[in-house]
Structure 1
Amino acid sequence: MRVLNFTYLTVAIFLFCTSCSDKQYQTLFLQQKALSDSTSKKASVKTVDYQIKSQDILQIRNLQDIKYIVNESPITANASGNNASQGQEFQVQDDSTVALPVIGHIKVIGLTRAEAQKLIEDQYRKVLLKDPIIDLKIINLKVTILGEVRGQGNYVLTKDRTSLVEVIGQAGGLTDRANEKNVKIIRGTEASPKVINVDLADIGSINDPKTILQSGDIIYIAQNKRAARSDNLQSFTVIFQPALLLFNTALIIFTLIHK
């Protein structure tokens, strides 16, 4: 009977320990140390505005009259069914141009959003409009965020310069399982990927130019050590508990037989 009691006590302690959960106390933006990346840790990083590429989607509107991209042709809805107040959408062609009402094909590949906006505005001023105010957005730019955030998925870059912290905020913030010191930005092509390691415990990460996101970036937030240990322990428990139950049953039968 002592053996049986000891077994029950062992099982109870084991189940209690496996049911305990560690809480992650995140320390964001407290420490001060330099960021590093996988290629050149000492090289200075210059923030470069996105340059328009083939197949990009440009959303264009004339702020002088939001119902018209130009003053002579009313637009009720664009090809995607969006409201006219949001502007029309035009796709950049492989020949490096975008076809626009009245002014025709305008070469935009290689230009930044601001440069393309000014070019189109100047062209409408020369050909048709007296004082156009053209608003241009590139609406297909996005990043992907995975791992320990509350809302994984794709997020559109709505500004010229969107920071890592802003996108994490859009994703609902980090979970309790997140390792704030192990955030990775995967950037570049498949043939030449680059990994930027970010420590969000470092207050310098807020303004570091390497955390200004680029279209196509993949952001991954790793688990903290407590979460990883908990997952490993749960996996062990799933395997061990049936064996423990079988052993306990055998021990009860043995005890009853030898009473």
Structure 2
Amino acid sequence: MQKVKKIVFITLLTILSSCVSKKDIIYFQNDQIEQNKVSNAYKTIFKPDDLLQITISALDLEAVKPFNLPSVAYATTTNSVVGTPQQQAYLIDNQGFIDFPLLGKLKIGGLTRLETIALLKDKLDPEYIKNPTINIKISNFTVTVLGDVKQPGTYTIPNERITVLEAIGLAKDLNISGIRNIEVIREENSEKKIYNLDLRSKNIFTSPVYYLQQNDIVYVKPNRSSSQDAAYNKNTGLFISIGSVLVALISVLTR
């Protein structure tokens, strides 16, 4: 009888230990927001492997044509254009350069959008184009959300501006078993850097990675109970249920 009671006690203890505390799952419950540290300023910094769409416009339409080259595909048999021509995109190489029409190699890796526009204007005006208007867009701006979320994946961000909370929203939020202390993995100066963010703290709004950059990775770790469950056989739950029934029957029969 004592052995049966011991088994029941251990079973109950296991169930209780797997419960998640309310303090572990509620967002923004700790700390006060330091308003003087909150900033809505966000700037895009161009990096290697960014694919840029650069559009040059001006009153002189003929002058801008060489800088807005179309990208076309040709049929191998007829040598004719296939599909609708798209605007030429420029890939930043691992040294930070793009090869731009007439201007040649330009190093824009590490520059902001405004700095890149200023560089192009300085190169174009007045030698090639007078008073050009320049628009630059990253066509492959993506962030990745992995781990214990409802819908992990890589997401394309069309407006190049996203917060870590919005990225989690794209992934349909954390699972109840996801640890609220998450990681943001970012490449800086060709090195991977890991930032820790506690979703339970309001200090998240002052974090340097609150606004994500292109190719950032958000990782949510599972809690200990979830990790242990993953190590069990998929039939473990069935076996525990059967064991519980057997324990109950033995308890009744030994009274």
Q: TM-score range by the shorter chain?
A: 0.5 to 0.7
- Is 1:202 equivalent to 2:196 in the alignment? no
1:44 counterpart residue number: none
User: Partner residue of 2:210?
Assistant: 211
Structure 1 201/78 Cα, relative in aligned 2: closer, same or farther at 3 Å?
farther
Q: Partners of 2:84 and 2:243 in 1: how far apart?
A: 61
Mapping of 1:128-147 within 5 angstroms? 128-147=128-147
**Per the alignment, do residues 78 and 57 of structure 1 end up closer, same or farther by CA in structure 2, a change over 3 Å counting?**
farther
Q: Distance in 1 between matches of 2:19 and 2:84?
A: 47
The answer (yes or no) to whether the contact 2:66–2:101 under 8 Å persists in 1 is no
CA 48–237 in structure 1, closer or farther in 2 if over 3 Å, else same: same
- Residues 81-100 of structure 1 show CA distances to partners (whole Å, capped at 9, x for unaligned) of 8875xx53112346653222
Shift of 1:53: 4.2
Q: CA offset at residue 205 of structure 1?
A: 0.6
Cα gap change, 1:154 to 1:214, in 2 (>3 Å) = same
Distance of 1:69 and 1:221 partners within structure 2? 51
1:61 aligns to 2:55 (yes or no): yes
TM-score normalised by structure 1 residue count: 0.59
Question: Residues 215-252 of structure 1, C-alpha deviation per residue, up to 9 Å, x if partnerless?
Answer: 4433211234665576678868347359849x79xx9x
Q: Aligned partners of 1:68, 1:226: CA distance in 2, in Å? A: 66
Distance in 2, Cα, partners of 1:218 & 1:201: 20
Give the 3-state SS of the residue equivalent to 2:123 in structure 1. helix
Indicate the residue corresponding to 2:26 in structure 1.
27
Q: What's the CA shift for 1:152?
A: 0.9
1:30/1:203 contact within 8 Å kept: yes
After superposition, residues 157-168 of structure 1 pair within 5 angstroms as 162-168=162-168
Distance 1:179 1:97, change over 3 A: closer
Answering whether residue 83 of structure 2 is matched by residue 89 of structure 1, we say no
Percent of residue pairs identical: 26
Unaligned 5+ segments in structure 2 are 34-40, 74-82
In structure 1, the partner of 2:38 is none
The within-5 A match list for 1:7-26 is: 26=25
Q: Which secondary structure does the structure 2 equivalent of 1:209 belong to?
A: coil
Contact residue 97 and residue 106 of structure 2 kept, 8 A: yes
Distance 2:207 2:62 in 1: 40
Distance in 1 separating the partners of 2:178 and 2:160: 28
Question: How far did 1:134 drift?
Answer: 0.8
Counterpart secondary structure, 1:126: coil
Query: Which residue of 1 is the match for residue 64 of structure 2?
Result: 70
The alpha carbon displacement at 1:69 in A equals 9.8
Q: What is the letter of the counterpart of residue 175 of structure 1?
A: N
Indicate if the aligned counterparts of 1:50 and 1:160 stay in contact, CA closer than 8 A: yes
Q: CA deviation at 1:23?
A: 8.4
Aligned to 1:237: 236
> For residue 57 of structure 1, what is the amino acid of its counterpart?
L
User: Kindly tell me: are residues 167 and 24 of structure 1, through their superposed partners in 2, closer, same or farther at Cα, counting changes over 3 Å?
Assistant: farther
Q: Note the C-alpha offset of 1:146.
A: 0.7
Gap change, CA 1:83 and 1:155, over 3 Å in 2: farther
Q: 1:96 to 1:179 in 2, by over 3 A?
A: closer
**Structure 2 residue 152 is matched with structure 1 residue 152:** yes
Q: 1:27 to 1:136 in 2, by over 3 A?
A: same
3-state SS of the aligned residue for 1:223? coil
